[in-house]
Amino acid sequence: MTDPIADYLTRLRNALKAKHKVVEIPASNLKIEMTKILKEKGYILNYKIDEEKNYQGSIKIALKYHPVDGTPAIKTLKRISKPGLRRYCNTDSIPRVLNGLGVAILSTSKGVITDKEAKDLKVGGEILCYVY
């Protein structure tokens, strides 16, 4: 697989379109950190790391929907930095997603963090994806 992050986002996107309650994704440290950010920002209900399936393990993510009309909490998942064209930003050029309503997930020297945390820590890095 050439782009595991794009695969992660596509699996989430497909599960949301199909109105699944749970989606299972092959695990990696980067995907686990991205899932933690989605949980703490309220885009997903919960997640569980299952290491019994195979050597790699898997992440089971419980998706979040609006209780009345059933719309998903995640409207858009957009991959920014791709293997063919990496996108980096410094402290001054960290993007704001939907004027601060969305979240940009960055891979920095301080770990995988959100755009707001990167501004507070004054670090730049690779822009992995936008979530809103």
Return contacts of 32-37, CB within 8 angstroms, 24+ apart: 32/59, 33/111, 33/112, 34/5, 34/8, 34/105, 34/112, 34/128, 34/129, 35/59, 35/61, 37/103, 37/105, 37/112, 37/113, 37/114
d(CA 57, CA 28): 8
Specify the CATH architecture of the domain 77-131: 2-Layer Sandwich (3.30)
* Domain segments of the chain as ranges: 4-63, 77-131
Q: What distance in Å separates the CA atoms of residue 105 and residue 82, rounded to the nearest whole number?
A: 14
pLDDT of residue 56: 86
pLDDT digits (tens, 9 = 90+) for 31-67: 999 999 999 999 999 999 998 767 889 999 999 999 9
- Kindly report the CATH number that applies to the domain delimited by 4-63: 3.30.1370.30
The structure tokens listed for 44 are 């997903």
pLDDT of residue 22: 97
Question: For residue range 72-111, what is the model confidence (pLDDT) as tens digits?
Answer: 999 999 999 999 999 999 999 999 999 999 999 999 999 9
Q: Taking Cα atoms as reference points, which of 82, 66, 85 lies closest to residue 16?
A: 66
Assess whether the region 4-63 and the region 77-131 belong to the same CATH fold.
Answer: no
Please state the rounded mean pLDDT for residues 110-128.
97
